[in-house]
A and B are shown apart, each in its own frame.
Chain A
Amino acid sequence: MKTKLLTALLLGTSILGTTGMALAEDVTLNIESWRGDDLTIWKDKLIPAFEAKNPGIKVVFAPSAPTEYDAALGAKLAAGSAGDLITCRPFDKSLELFKKGNLADISSLPGMDNFSPVAKAAWQTDDGKSSFCVPMASVIHGFIYNKDAFDKLGLKVPTTVEEFYAVLDKIKADGTYIPMAMGTKDLWEAATMGYQNIGPNYWKGEEGRAALIKGEQKLTDPQWVEPFKELAKWKPYLGDGFEAQTYPDSQNLFTLGRAAIYPAGSWEIGLFNTQAQFQMGAFPPPVQKAGDTCYISDHTDIGMGLNAASKHPEEAKKFLSWVASPDFATIYANALPGFFSLNSTPVKMEDPLAQEFVSWRGKCKSTIRSTYQILSRGTPNLENETWVESANVINGTDTPEAAAKKLQDGLDSWYKPAK
């Protein structure tokens, strides 16, 4: 079944490829991707924009299902039939492809200097010397709130932790709204929208993340335990039965206007815009004291690399340079609000909520999720354990200290930082 599908796919691409050739002496580039949702954006906006500027190069966007992408791509790369351009998952999955020689080193590609080191970190070797994918988009964490509810209750957007709890207390006292829409059933909400959302303010973003990887800091240090302590305080503000509340439940509670604040990732913007009947606003994770530097999780999510076995490396590089350009960033970020370009050049976006999110980049320091690079390679898996422990802390099953200790012990059992 799978091989049949694969053969069909391969046949399909080869036929498409040859017809392209037959029509003109054009070079055809194929893009491998798991983002089937983006097919129309690529076909109608991105590819025409590129082809208009680069006559002689045809680009075909050929996505496969997200769950099959990694396996199908692996098989195609092994068989030598993969597309010229490969959409990259962040961190280890792409790093593995690079180590196997499937992805080309593109450190010197024109346009790569449009990106900050944090943006490139997801697609670099551990020492940061070679890059193998152009960063395309990231998602930013923060809190989305119901503006109508805030106006009705006369609430101001909180900037410090103290104000944050004051706002939550007022919403709770009023009783019309559930203060915060989050559940612990699916576990990852607690970790991704909770721990990784507010955490960077405590461990000082990149500084703490790098120190953790180097082994200079431990998860049991106060700056890593503090976010857990905050999560533990969230419990009274969550809805009834939050222990069995799933991620879609949380989304619905918020978009139906039953909850006032939603710990969010910017990828929600597109969906929330179509579903919510009220005004929405967003605020970054509150800082400890007024005037503190704020840190946000600006997590690199998707990139694009060059198949080392591509027959048209020059044309493919031209395309990648374009992907690294502000032109691409503008089209992409506007077509997919909530997926932000990682380009250093600010991108003009129409969506007000997306604008709000991206404006934090100007005043806060960006970092990525602490567990993603290097630290989730072993058993027990730090990312999975963080899911479980974050939920445990909110449920009250584990104290913040116990949770942090479990995570550090798990990490210590296999991770030996390079000295």
Chain B
Amino acid sequence: MDTETMAAETRAKRPIRWHVGVFLAPAVLVYTAFMILPLFGTLQLSLFRNIEQSQVFVGFSNFRTLFGDPNWSVNFWNALRNNVWFFIIHMLVQNPIGILLAALLSSPKLRFTAFYRTAIFVPTILSFVIVGFAWKLILSPIWGVAPHLMDFVGLKSFFTPWLGKEQYALTALSLVSVWQFVGIPMMLIYAALLSIPDEVIEAAECDGVTGMAQFWKIKLPLILPSIGIISILTFVGNFNAFDLIYTAQGALAGPNYSTDILGTFLYRAFFGFQLQVGDPNMGAAIATIMFLIILAGVCVYLFLVQTRLRRYQF
């Protein structure tokens, strides 16, 4: 058979599969209308500037202002630094605790697992506003329960108004956020741990690998892909964060901008605050930079980390 007839035959065997397009259409259309178009709209907005009531194309001038004008760049680098710290706390506290909780939950000896699982996961589904407000009250030096509880156990001298102190506020809020979201890594890791086949565990036991050694040598390598996913989710979530800081500290992210992250910085620039008039173009420039930071992080993960992760083949 020559190649031409073969090609013709395949063509005949494979009619155009309209249904693929039809089934994809709703998602593609909705996603394009609500995510992709606005994204490009933002990118476009960041290249313009409002000069005498009309939008004028100014190239990368907004970005030059953002990085070159100390009035903007100082705030920007401060926000980025804070955001990195926010992310580091999540990576160092939230994810290890999540893994630890998942490991404990998957232990067959533990009773009331369903209760713990639910209790730890519940804060995740709460609104930021509730979480921010509740913690503001808990930590309040005037009416809060935190000073009283610490007094109970003789630790009153360690209490300070954390949310009002420049050196603690951001860390305190990061930990509040960790408290809220620790359920997500826990659930994902828990699912990954449950999906490890029994044969692998049994084989390990036959070889004398039990207890902690079993966790470190057998289970942890097998859940690494899940940990990768969690890291990238944390990264994206943290660099998009805004709500908690806004509800707990307000748009000026006090004290002295010590809790200002990219989200609150963007908010003030885009929408303005009090007497500050919003500047959508500079806001869009900040949003673009945030997008690029997240894009870079995701690319690093996809191309450098994920390709090297080996999966257990069944």
**Per-residue CB proximity of B169-188 to A under 8 Å, as 1/0?**
00000000000000000000
Also in contact, A92 and B277, with CB within 8 A (given A185-B254, A388-B252): yes
Also in contact, A391 and B255, with CB within 8 A (given A245-B161, A376-B275): yes
Also in contact, A245 and B141, with CB within 8 A (given A371-B275, A379-B71, A384-B273): yes
Main SS class of interface, A: loop
B257 contacts A by Cβ under 8 Å: yes
A392 CA to B258 CA in the complex, in Å? 11
**Per-residue CB proximity of B244-277 to A under 8 Å, as 1/0?**
0000011010111100000000001000011111
- Can you name the residue of chain B whose Cβ is closest to the Cβ of A394? B255
B176 to chain A, nearest CB (A): 13
B171 to chain A, nearest CB (A): 14
- Can you name the residue of chain A whose Cβ is closest to the Cβ of B53? A100
List of A residues within 8 angstroms of B70 by Cβ: 413
Q: Which of A352-402 contact B (CB under 8 A)?
A: 371-372, 376-377, 379-384, 387-388, 391-392, 395, 397-398
B259 to chain A, nearest CB (A): 11
B61 to chain A, nearest CB (A): 15
Interface pair B256/A244, CB less than 8 Å apart:
no
A81 CA to B2 CA in the complex, in Å? 75
Also in contact, A384 and B161, with CB within 8 A (given A186-B250, A249-B142, A397-B256): no
List of B residues within 8 angstroms of A91 by Cβ: 275
**Per-residue CB proximity of B224-257 to A under 8 Å, as 1/0?**
0000000000000000000000000110101111
A112 to chain B, nearest CB (A): 25
- Can you name the residue of chain A whose Cβ is closest to the Cβ of B159? A241
Residues of B within 8 A of A (CB): 70-72, 136, 139-143, 147, 160-166, 249-250, 252, 254-257, 268, 273-277, 279
- Can you name the residue of chain B whose Cβ is closest to the Cβ of A243? B164
Interface pair B252/A241, CB less than 8 Å apart:
no
Q: How large is the interface on A (under 10, 10 to 19, 20 to 34, 35 or more residues)?
A: 35 or more
Interface pair A92/B164, CB less than 8 Å apart:
no
A-B contact pairs, 6 of them (CB 8 A): A241-B142, A244-B141, A245-B161, A384-B276, A397-B255, A410-B71
Interface pair A384/B275, CB less than 8 Å apart:
yes
B70 to chain A, nearest CB (A): 8
B314 to chain A, nearest CB (A): 49
Interface pair B255/A381, CB less than 8 Å apart:
no
Also in contact, A380 and B71, with CB within 8 A (given A186-B250, A246-B136, A388-B252): yes
List of A residues within 8 angstroms of B71 by Cβ: 379-380, 410, 413-414
Interface pair B256/A239, CB less than 8 Å apart:
no
Q: Which of B136, B161, B268, B276 contacts A241 (CB 8 A)?
A: B161
Interface pair A241/B143, CB less than 8 Å apart:
no
Also in contact, A241 and B275, with CB within 8 A (given A185-B254, A186-B250, A249-B142): no
List of A residues within 8 angstroms of B250 by Cβ: 186-187
A173 to chain B, nearest CB (A): 22
Interface pair B275/A92, CB less than 8 Å apart:
yes
Interface pair A241/B254, CB less than 8 Å apart:
no
Interface pair B164/A239, CB less than 8 Å apart:
no
A185 CA to B161 CA in the complex, in Å? 10
Interface pair A245/B164, CB less than 8 Å apart:
yes
Q: Which of A229-252 contact B (CB under 8 A)?
A: 239-246, 249
Also in contact, A384 and B277, with CB within 8 A (given A241-B142, A245-B164, A246-B136): no
Q: Which of A240, A383, A391, A398 contacts B254 (CB 8 A)?
A: A391
Also in contact, A379 and B252, with CB within 8 A (given A241-B164, A244-B140): no
